[in-house]
Structure 1
Amino acid sequence: MHNELSADLAPFKGIILSLVSYANHHKLDTLIEKLTPNVKHAVRFLIKMEIKRIAKPCTLVMDFRSMFSHCEPVQHNEQCHYLDKTSKKAFLQSVKQNQDNFCVYMYNELTEKAKHRYLTKQAKQGDEAQSIKSSLNIAVANAINLSNQNYFHEEPESFHSQYKVFTYDPLGMSDNGKRSLGITVTLTELSLNQCVLKSAINIPDIVNDELFLWFYQHDERLEFEPEITLAYKVIKQEQEHGHYIYQLSLANQNTKDMLSLLSRLQQQKHIANEPYRQKQVEPLIDSVMAKSHEQFLTSRINDIPLMCAKFTSGWRPDSGLYTQANKQLWQFFSQEDDLAPFSRLFGYEKLQQALDNNQSFDDYAYILKHQYADKTQYLIIWQQQLEQDNKARKLLQKHFLNGNYRYIRLTINAINALEDAYLPSAVASSMSSAMAFMNRPLCKATAKSLKAYNHLAVIADITELNNTLSIAEQLKVKEQPLHEVAAIKCSKEFVMPRLQRKSQMKKIRLDLNDARREERFDLALDVVVTRYGSQPCRIKGKTNNISSRGLSINLTKPLKYKAGENIALTLRVPDNICQPEKLISLDNQAYQLLGGSDTHLRLVINGLERKHQACQYLRKLIFHHLDDLKLSGAKANEIYGMSKALRNIYCLCRFLFTKTNANGISTHLP
């Protein structure tokens, strides 16, 4: 087998390898066209042929018994390969990812890796390595997973030190004295400025709300030995589940040396947890990659995916995904906003029986859309009827093939929409089991709507198959116009059944024009403009909507503004949206004017997010009350696109790395 690409195809080696797993995909031409927009058609054809060549089934047998002593026979497609344990695992995984096909590139990849392991083993034993030429020098072609299932559930290492607390400065005491007299506590939160400690007993005789905390006997993995003694002020004290909780703030009298040691200790914890953070980030990166490929495919879906549930009248579709690519098929089934034909399609008795028995359904049907006298008639012939009933064949020949018909395939499978939707990157329902949950608001309402979905249906238009097979010519159909002033008379079994009640099906649109950087939520908060530029003022107003980085406010009186000017606000923010009477005042918050009108202003924070008090507080407020806040500007039946998905991933990433406790102490996880 030739192992080098031609000079014409060498620049496209990466594209060819990345598309090997899509060699038999019906959208291969579209994928090549999108990845090579400025390439001639002839070159694209060569690229396609090269992909087909590399991905063609391989008839060669792999026998590694000459290299490894413990090889096992592995049967696949009437061939027996002899593979070592590592090769067997890689072979089965590759075949599974490639829809049970064994291809040329897989043969070369596994053979090359086996030879490399053999040579490495020989070199370690001191034998002279013998060169083994690979029959094909080709890089690994990895398929892109559209459904990211790379989870990470490990907890970060705590790297705890031992802690003792004193009501007086233990300076000058011996280690034995501090160990015997100090009160043993555990730290639940620790930052460079604050900490929260938990004690089994109430600390007695606290003078001037002052405590001294002794850090000693650190985790050996930190490679940190110095002991630390720091003075803290007690900010808050409470009892919880039989323990005493103390929230402490660093006192001013601490020496620079001790503060420097605390900083070094935190830094050592951060370095020690680097492997944890790398593992933690990988699923998020995979989510972004999966979302990018999902966006490309979702916007080009020609089929109509439908989420289905059991209603009182039987199994019916609840919602379907509408894209520009399946627009024509939608128009065939619907008249303006009337989506009843989708539900009427589910009136087939055998379909209902299959779903009642929790079985999958897969069948073909001819559907005729006959319009007459401002009315529409839908007729349907299922494949089984066509094969067994002569009346169906005559109806197809006389009316269907002369009219506006579609030949469709309807597949329905059982799913767990709620479970599948919580994938870090759920994809469009024609690819996976749930409709892009990450592109929807992250709240209980969304989860509740998904809970009822337990079946996924896909309508595929395969009418072109009829044209390819020349069905009309085979049946000798004579072209004649349908009678357009009356309904077609036929047996009742070929008429789509009427619905007992109006269809409640929803059309879900994919919005590709969403350019928001952050979500905005409708929330009215009292604000007072205290400074405009360098001039003090006092103008009251209310927020129209909020995000962590910006505000939209309405003022009670006009303010002549200039875009880009700085402005200072006082915000009255509830500690809990469900209890709006408890308000916290955030004074002199710095914002910058973006635009608006004299009484309506759009603002963005002025300064760093991590140092902006209102930004940090509003971010925490939004995150903890997603179920109670209404998304501003969101349309009811619309799934947002890539921007929304990435904002959700960003939101999860931010709160994955930043832990904020009930006392408002924000500390980055180690």
Structure 2
Amino acid sequence: MSQDIEQYSDIIEQLKPVVGEPEFNQVLSQVASALPKPKRFLLKMELMRLAKPCKHAIDLRGHVDGECSPYEYEGITHHLDEVAVEVFERQIRSFGAYTLGVKETVTNTENNFRVMHQKQQQEDLKKKDAEASETEEPPVDLSEVFQANQVYFADYAQRSEERMNFSVAVEVFSEMEDALKAMTVDLSVRGLKIKLHKKHLFKTDERIMLFFRGLEKEYSLDKSEAIPYLITHIDRSRDEQRISLKRLFDKPTKTFDAFLERFIQGNKRRYKLNIDNTVDAILTKGYEQYYIPHFTSIPVYISQQNGQYVPRYALTNDTNQESIYFWADEQHHLRLGYLFPHQRIEALLKKPEGEQETYIYSFNHIKDGKSYYYSATLEELEANPKIKRAYLAYASRKASWRVYKLQLTDMNPEQCHQPLSLPDSVNDIVRRQNQPPAPRLMSRLKDLSHIALLTDITSDIGVKAYQKLKVERNMLVQLQTFAHPRNKPPENIGLYRFKYQNFRRETRFQLRTEVHITMGDLEFQGVTEDISPNGLRIELNNLYPASRHARLAITFPKLQAMTQKHVLKDIPYDVADISAERNVINLTAVTEEDAPSAKAFFEELIKNNRNKLKTDQIEEDIPGIGEAMRNIYAANLLNIPIFIKKEGVNFKPDAITTPKVENALIPLLNFKSHKGNMNLYPLYSAPGLQQDFIRNILRKLKTNSKPVMDELFIAFDPSQTEIQSAIQTQFADQFQSFNECRKFIAKALGAGRFYAIKIFIARTGRPDTELLRAEMNYVGAYASHRAKSLEEHLWSIAGVGDIVDVTDEVMLRHGFLKEHIIMNKMKAAPKEDEALPIS
């Protein structure tokens, strides 16, 4: 690409998806409208060149800073590294085929040695020029670097009809003024938007009359017929205002209605439909589908029956299942309901809205092979001050010690239905997907009134803080106050999930059977968690001692006793994945010739026992209930999801979702943010290597890895003008001592406000475009370049995070009193020496 053309690389990237499309020239004129025609012609020629088919293999071995491996596409074997594969696939989606443009982009990635050398030369030259001119570049404004677009889950408007972008002169008669001139922005049969100068005064719910003067000139419309509208929304900018209007049908206008419907149907491809709401809906749903499978919290749905609050259902995913089944007793009965007695829910509801939360401290005790559970909320402990210290001291020394944040919000069963953003009239597929839920499903949901969100915030650093309390042996008998009696089991909580597309090649089946494992001279034992013809997941008795890709020999002693037909000894498997705790490994069967295999045995076992073996997913007893739970939770978020995109080799903030209820973190994230954005600077401002915490984590994580959690301390002084002075942060593990943590908190309180947050970071997979298919096809039909741009945006999302406010719990475990917590929320501050030990 020549230097003349290279300066327009951003425009070229926008136009790649529409090369060869019928609307290419039109889109080119729109996107490059500021350029003179000769430049536009050069851009067109360059794009046509880049779109030419290519048959040459790309071999990057020795040319990039990365390990290359074979990569086949349409019969051509390339040798690409991980970065190149990602760029290759992205460019293929843009061009729709392997073209010259794909090859050139792949051979010019940021980790290409040639590109790196050229950049270094350019930087050296700039440095010399800077030294020669003795001028310094202005410092980077860090308040601009970490801006993230603000989005809202479950907030996509459904249109009852198609709306067309169309500008035509209208005359407006209001209650206050006569004959104002305006222009339409878009229109439909039942509504439209107009723009006019902001000096004219209007108010919402005001009735106005419109004459379509621009249409009267071309069509046979009654010039004396005024069409009544109601103002629903006013958006004012510096010079103009845009007013959204809804048709009023209090007088018959059948002739005009029929004309307008014919006019829109006949011209919607010429003037383009307004699809902004559908584009927004697709993007929001894309964020939702990245977040729902990766949150670690447990949403529990509470029903209200006969004056009692009862936990009924929980929404599960692959990430929170471990926390859920932690509450399975020795007989595998789920005892999670112990945490949600009526009295706790009722106590939370008495708190002001936005403050309906608490912390639960729990542990279990095993005696004679039986599990005994204990739990207490912060308020329950404070009501028993003599027992509080003994409980925290003893419980925090148990391996089963857990600290949870419990949040409560109300909900509406009607939120289970989220129709498409498209009107029913588009096609039969859309009409079917817009159908309301079945009465049987709604009958299951009708008594649900609240969501109780349970988040495990236990950490090693937190445990050490609580263990500073001395165990008072004489008080241990008093802990029975917080014991859950075994003879009164809790309500059973039904588990449901909304399953996004399954990326596995085959179904896994739950089967626990003993295995013996050998790896060279090492021998260890384990139990299978699930099996398939081509893979296993094994829970080990000890920690896994080796790395991924190691080859193991697996023997199945109990399964071998069932068959003489198959040999199930020393079957080779490769390690595909290792859990963060290194006690669970995923294996894939070796497919090499002459290698012994258990595939035939497992195929036969599954075939003969299909009715007995459960798949490793929760089956729905009522179709759609998992989706209903997912929709309700998306509409009632309590924590703050963030989304990270990948640009080349860099990870950058992309979007953030905020709860609709009050959240204490909003003032912090709003600091130095643009309109419609929030500022994620606090997550990137820790000293040292931790400044790149998110990037470093995402580079290490795989798609199916558990989220990584860390705890961040934040000192916020909003009176400062520079963001670096206003926000000081440090991760919990960066402090050298307990007292150093306390000093940081006290100093933050003295200068402004203290926050502590848990950050959960996970690596995303590819988007489930099938769920977005109807809306994506609609956008593609009227603006294919926008559809491809949308898909490109969704594919760029590489990480998802969850931010949980744990300020109060951190202050309590560092010896600050309830009064200090209240003052912190009021932005008042105690003196450093007022902090006392946990009491």
If the TM-score is normalised by the length of the shorter chain, which range does it land in? 0.3 to 0.5
Higher RCO (Cα < 8 Å, 6 or more apart): 2
The higher radius of gyration belongs to: 1
Q: Provide TM-score, normalisation by structure 2.
A: 0.29
